[in-house]
Structure 1
Amino acid sequence: MGCAISGLSETADLGEKSNYHAGGGGEGGHLSQDQIDMIKESWKVIKDNITKVGIIVFVRLFETHPECKDVFFLFRDVKDLERLRTSRELRAHGLRVMSFIEKSVARLDQPERLEVLAVELGKSHYHYNAPPKYYSYVEAEFLNAVQPILKDRWTAELEEAWKTMFQYMTRLMKQGYEDEDRQNQATISPKERGDKRNAAL
């Protein structure tokens, strides 16, 4: 949900090692090579509809979780969600998020680089005041948006592969968010500290 996705650093203090292993079994955050291949193949189709998917994801996100609009200054007071479908700002933000997903898919065979990408994004979300509870909302709307595009390519196995990838990315983003939170605790007031903690609940 951050707005600096395309400019993410490729370096980060990764802290804990990730639970991601290419060629693993597909359970507990592990993606098998078959799952990686399925995701990459499906992305080729999704990519042709990248703008449409980005818009659908955020319009639906604001419909199902209107509180998410509070994170976005530009959309906070928009009541007519249909108007958002033609918003240049929403289109641009949707593309940034889809760009992050594209970068993630491209790094599925490079778990170290993928980990850096997700942790850095989590850190940037701390500064947008976009807490981890929102990340799974985006996952759900993305999966809903791509099913009609993939049509008969969408299977239970493909859905499981995408969910596994998102769960892994969400865990790392949460780690980055919490790392940044800890680093900033000493420099912010007690009131700001309480506000951020309450938002993350």
Structure 2
Amino acid sequence: MSLFKRIKRSLTGSIQTDDYESRVISRNNNKTRSTFDPQILPPEISEREVEILKDCWNTVQQDVAKVGIITFVGLFETHPDVHDAFMSFRAVNTSDLEYNAILRAHALRVMGTVNKCIYRLDNRDKLQELMTEMGIRHKNYSVKIEFIDLMGPQFISSIKASLETVWTDEHEKAWDNLFKVMCYHMRKGMCSI
């Protein structure tokens, strides 16, 4: 069993099925963009969706490290080429405890960004600025622009388990819209330099 599957099993007690993985890969391959087109605007996030996102986030924050790690483990399982894009992971053997600490630290940074975006939904200009700057930083790290759209679906699949008793299509749409907005502005930042 791969390290990623062992990590996921230790965190969740189970491994996602191949059916799930093929849905994520298929979904991502259809939506991944490799450029920024200012003619295509990000979706609007309604006040109801803001309410849903903030309410869900209060629950997700209770296990934020776990959600972050599961998100990245899932991403690395379904898109192994993404793993190699992370400079901090390249020099470390994936069986090392140091690898797990680096993975957890990065996952927590990403979850911190999600947190900032959720609370900046009340000030969209600040959200746009944050994510544009994040895009510029990721371009400087030589991250491929087509990797940006992969995070949202993985994150959504990771939080569903925590929210399965309340999860609806409305929740899915709210989170999908949030990540589309985040990715739009990241791509904008990546294409600005």
Question: For this structure pair, what is the TM-score category when the shorter chain's length is used for normalisation?
Answer: 0.7 to 0.9
The 3 A distance-change label for structure 1 pair 17 and 106 is farther
CA RMSD of aligned residues (A): 2.3
Is residue 89 of structure 2 the alignment partner of residue 89 of structure 1? no
AA in 2 matched with 1:114: L
Partner of 1:22: none
The 3 A distance-change label for structure 1 pair 42 and 179 is same
4+ residue stretches of structure 1 with deviation over 2 A? Answer: 16-19, 73-81, 83-86
Partner of 1:151: 164
Deviation at 1:135, TM superposition (A): 1.5
1:1-201 paired onto structure 2 within 5 Å: 19=41, 29-76=43-90, 87-180=100-193
- The whole-number CA distance in structure 1 between the counterparts of 2:98 and 2:53 is 27
AA in 1 matched with 2:77: E
Deviation at 1:173, TM superposition (A): 0.5
- The whole-number CA distance in structure 2 between the counterparts of 1:77 and 1:65 is 19
Partner of 1:194: none
Q: Deviations over 1:168-194 (max 9, x none)?
A: 1111110000002xxxxxxxxxxxxxx
- The whole-number CA distance in structure 2 between the counterparts of 1:137 and 1:90 is 17
Per the normalisation by structure 1, the TM-score is 0.71
Q: Deviations over 1:64-111 (max 9, x none)?
A: 111011211232366757x67971111000000000000000000101
Kept after mapping to 2: 8 A contact 1:119/1:177: yes
AA in 2 matched with 1:66: P
Kept after mapping to 1: 8 A contact 2:120/2:126: yes
The 3 A distance-change label for structure 1 pair 75 and 121 is same
AA in 1 matched with 2:76: F
The 3 A distance-change label for structure 1 pair 36 and 100 is same
* Structure 2: unaligned runs, 5 residues or longer: 1-37
